[in-house]
Structure 1
Amino acid sequence: MKFIQILEEPIEPGGLVEWTPFTPGGLGTWSPDPRLTSHNHEQHLRAAFEYRARTHREGGRESWLGVSVEFDEALSIPALRATLRFWIDRHEVLRSHVVITRDGLRRLTTAPGTVRLNMGRIGWYAEPGPLVEQLAGSFDRATAPMHWPAYLFATIGRESSFTLIFTADHSLLDGYSLIMAQHELTTIYRAMRDHRPVDLPEVGSYVDFSAAERRQADQDGADHPAVSTWSRFLQAGSGDMPALLSASADTTTVPGPAAGGERPQESRSGVITDDDTANRFAAVCAEAGGSLTAGVLAAFAMVHHDITDDPEFRCVLPRHTRNDARWLAALGWFVAVAPFCLDMSDSPTFDQTVARSTAELKHSRQGASLPYLRVAELIGHSGHPRFVISFIDTRYAPGAAAADAGRAKVLRSHSYSPDEVYIWINRTPSGLRYSTRFPHHADAELVPGFLAAFAACVRAVADGSTFNSRM
């Protein structure tokens, strides 16, 4: 399943319709909800509020994620409308909103069955370029987190096919949510089209999860194991988060109407290996006593050491917090972060690096057992992750093979960060894919070169050859 920035690939043109949720009477008819807001959501909201106050532009900074699903049949308007209302009722996070007040945060929630959809016909597009530009602009405007809805649906209809796209601000969901969403939306639509019951398992509410996570995190103090884990990690970097690009690199920006004068990050994606090569690479990792995750991080560490000669490899890892069955298919932001550091000073072999990576993954896991924003509050740290590597295996998600064959793809918006480098590695039924975003630094070409060397390392390991005579 591809994970791409929305402008990276064309969308087959057709008739564009935007589906905007609304409730009669607006937020004034919603019920006060005492459930607490997660640290992630609160920080995201406050950042958007500060951005709006500083720039007089709507907050959000184009921080949305989305999914695009292809259907090989003519669009049924009644079935599609019923699908979207069913899905909104299924996931409470789409019917809940948090506002900033003088007294703090206030949550409002509306009951199932109260959200309706406004069908807005935008027009017919004969070329993919203008269509994608229109969609990207609509999603940027519609997903500002300080307003409800911070999400939007769109369909592109044709004579015998249609595309369904859903996008939402990051505060409402994560990438895994969208991997599951493509299967849910397809299943619900077919059930509504055929007038039969929807066959999906029960799902929990992210609003419940947020409240429980926040309540527990606020009770934990400086003696929590995550605090010492992060403290040691930050001390190893002189108090800073790790960065792939040098802090002194040129961050000159150029005018950009969507970003208030800042230039969006570069964005690239592609294939690292096919399925056979990925399997052979995983077999070598297993022989060395590690998982595919450990092997991917080991390969990155070896390439980083080869390029920079740095004695340590440091990055930040997203770790999911879906630790109960009811959260597995829930829509929400179920992500914590963990520190990751490998000693590379003795130029270890690949097998040795995998062993170290395996041990570090076990050790660093406790860093994600408390939301990092709570950790930062306890230790007085104001930095943010700047070099992040994410690995996810989607092969066992429902509908994974069809999605990977082109039936669905996960979308993301622009980012305007001047210092963040994010690399996503996805194991799909067809092999290993990558996606990355990085700023326009003077040394930014290091990132594509870093990824090319990583791909070469993976293939070399899979082929049983050596990599710089150290494996």
Structure 2
Amino acid sequence: MEYTHLSEFLIRRGELTIWTPELTRSDAWRDDERPLASVHEQYLGFLEPDDPRPGRGRWIGTIFEMDAPLDAQAWATTLRLWHDRHEGFRTTAVPTGDGGYHRVTTAPGTVQVTGAPVPGLVDGDQINEYLCEVLESRLSALVWPHLLLATVTHETDDFTVLVGADHSVLDAYSQAVLILELRTLYTAVRTGGEIRDSATFGSPADYAVRERAAAEELTPDSPAVAVWREFLGTPGSPMPRFAADRVAELDGEHAQPSVSRTLLTIEELEEVEQVLNRIRHRLSVTVFAALAVASRAVFGEDRFRTVMPIATRPDLTWLESMGWFVNVVPVDITLPAGADMAAALEVTRSSLKRAHTCNDASWGRSLAMVGAVEGPTFGASFLDIRMLPDYELVADLRGRTLRAVSYSTEEVYFWVVRGPDGLYVSTRYPAGLPAEVMDRFLTEFARAMYAVTTIAAPVAAARPVDAPAALSAG
């Protein structure tokens, strides 16, 4: 599943409708004593309440083609039931008057979703542009609803579905699993089938209680804080950046370039995985080892530092929840002089184990304790899409996860995905970074991945296979 911009998805010609959640009662909101998650509260602190385009650079979403005709009444019922199921769509943050925010929530049955046709707009490219504008202007972390939907009906017996949301109510895992959830729910509504209930649709607000309690237990002496301290270095030091000395300063604002490409074909990847099985290393370790090797090849640096977003769904209660269940951990890899991929794998395996110390530790609170003056600007994540249920069907539905266009002059992110057709990467980077620099880095990244096939002898074969890595998220 590609992680891409909406503008890169070809929407077929059809009739557009925007679907907006609305409260059925004006007094539906109730004060909710449960806290906001640490990452949610920190996110709100960076926002401007008067921003005329609050979704610009911030919204995320999903687009796919539903393999059934659109029944407007059944679809509205589906979306109402979806909001009833997920409390994360029925909660928001309101100002407290002292610069902070508190949570308010509305009960199941108080949200309906209504459709508004957009007349005279049928060309796919024009629909795409219109939707980009709507998502930038209407989606906000400070104004409910934090989620909008669109459908495009075609002359065929199917329709396109777009789900756009502020990041506070969706994460990368939610983006991926919502496709089959909506498909299953819509099918049940249309056919009169059973509407499945489950204990795995836990509330993000309940998770926030648990997350904030853990964050309060952190101290400057906590092992996770020590890992962040070593990662950052001297208090007040800048966060690691990708190719910082290669980024030119440009006048005005520029959209970040976005690149998606195949790193390894399925045939090449299977060669790599055969060797990894023999030497008892995981593909996730290999991805970060290859990033470090590529960084050394292009920039001459033996030390590679980045952050890795990880999913923080602590147990099955939140397995199918819609929400923002993400933490960030530091990855710090120093390659020995002259290290080949075999040596890089061993070093990276140890580095990722050390990073996992931070899995359950709030990254914002940890950084505050080590004297950080800024947040992360360089990140990388890995996901094996085959872990998702019915992932092959998602491909048949043209499912894509989406991110907003970014205008950052510093941020660089890599999303690496093991899909059914091979290993591919998506990245975004500052407009001031020459395209040839990124092209060379991705070339060296692919070269390092494939170099695993040259490892001839088992490496530390007596040790157990790597423990499963935490689920990465974007």
- TM-score, normalised to structure 2's length? 0.91
In structure 2, the partner of 1:258 is none
| 2:359 partner amino acid | A
**RMSD in angstroms over aligned alpha carbons?**
2.0
Name the CA distance, whole Å, in 1 between partners of 2:344 and 2:217: 37
**1:17-61 CA distances to partner (integer Å, 9 max, x unpaired)?**
0000010344x4311000000111111112113xx46xx534344
Is the aligned partner of 1:147 residue 2:147? no
Matched, 1:176 2:167: no
CA distance in 2, matches of 1:236, 1:406: 49
1:226 maps to what in 2? 224
- The alpha-carbon distance between structure 1 residues 322 and 252, as it changes in their structure 2 partners (threshold 3 A), is same
Task: For 1:351 and 1:390, locate their aligned partners in 2 and report how far apart those are by CA, in whole Å.
Answer: 21
SS in 1 for 2:41: helix
Q: Which deviates the most, 372-381 or 414-423?
A: 372-381
Could you tell me which amino acid in structure 2 is paired with residue 102 of structure 1?
A: G
Aligned pair partner of 2:290 in 285, 299, 312: 299
Aligned to 1:63: 58
Classify 1:351/1:238 alpha carbon distance in 2 versus 1 (closer, same or farther; 3 Å): farther
Report deviation, 1:110: 0.4
Flag structure 1 segments of 5+ consecutive residues without an equivalent.
255-261, 467-471
**Structure 2 residue aligned with 1:422:** 413
Counterpart Cα distance in 1 of 2:436 and 2:268: 26
Alignment length, in residue pairs? 453
1:451 aligns with 2:447: no
Amino acid at match of 1:252: L
Pair 1:460–1:344, CA change in 2 (3 A): closer
Bigger shift: residues 293-302 or 364-373: 364-373
The amino acid that maps onto 2:214 is Q
Do the aligned residues in 2 keep the contact of 1:245 with 1:419 (CA within 8 Å)? no
Cα pair distance change 1:123/1:62, threshold 3 Å = farther
Shift of 1:407: 3.2
- Name whichever of 286-295 and 185-194 sits farther off: 286-295
Q: Which stretch shows the higher mean deviation, 336-345 or 242-251?
A: 242-251
Note the C-alpha offset of 1:442: 4.2
Q: 2 CA distance for matches of 1:371 and 1:144? A: 23
1:186 counterpart letter in structure 2? R
CA-CA distance at 1:124 after TM superposition: 4.8
1:442 and 1:276 mapped to 2: Cα distance?
32
User: Which position in structure 1 is the counterpart of 2:42?
Assistant: 43
* Range with bigger deviation, 222-231 or 117-126: 117-126
Residue by residue over 1:417-446, the C-alpha shift from the partner in whole angstroms, topping out at 9 and shown as x without a partner, is 110000000112222121111111144542
- Which residue number in structure 2 is paired with residue 259 of structure 1? none
Q: Does structure 2 conserve the Cα–Cα contact (< 8 Å) formed by 1:2 and 1:404?
A: no
Bigger Cα displacement from structure 2, 306-315 vs 280-289: 280-289
CA contact under 8 A between 2:55 and 2:135: conserved in structure 1?
Answer: no
Give the SS at the match of 1:59: coil
**1:112 aligned onto 2:108:** yes
Q: Look up the match of 1:308.
A: 299
Tell whether the 8 Å contact from 1:282 to 1:295 is kept in structure 2 after alignment.
no
| 2:225 aligned counterpart, secondary structure | helix
- What is the CA–CA distance in structure 1 between the aligned matches of 2:294 and 2:235, rounded to whole Å? 20
In the alignment, the residues of structure 1 paired with residue 443 and residue 125 of structure 2 have an alpha-carbon distance, to the nearest angstrom, of: 29
1:266 shift after superposition: 1.1
Match of 2:401 among 396, 399, 410: 410
Give structure 2 stretches of 5+ with no counterpart: 457-474
SS at match of 1:29: coil
For the residue of structure 2 that corresponds to 1:410, the secondary structure is strand
Q: Of residues 184, 189, 200 in structure 2, which corresponds to 1:187?
A: 184
Of residues 355, 371, 387, the one that matches 2:378 is 387
User: For residues 375 and 320 of structure 1, what CA distance do their matches in structure 2 show?
Assistant: 17
User: Aligned-pair distance for 1:263?
Assistant: 1.8
Amino acid at match of 1:119: G
- 2:386 counterpart SS class: coil
Contact 2:4–2:400, Cα closer than 8 Å, also in 1: yes
The CA deviation at 1:274 is 2.9
Q: Deviation of residue 150 (structure 1)?
A: 1.4
2:29 counterpart of 1:30: yes
Superposition deviation, residue 345 in structure 1: 4.0
Alpha-carbon distance, 1:465 to partner:
8.3
Equivalent in the alignment of 2:349: 358
**1:348 is paired with a residue of what secondary structure?**
coil
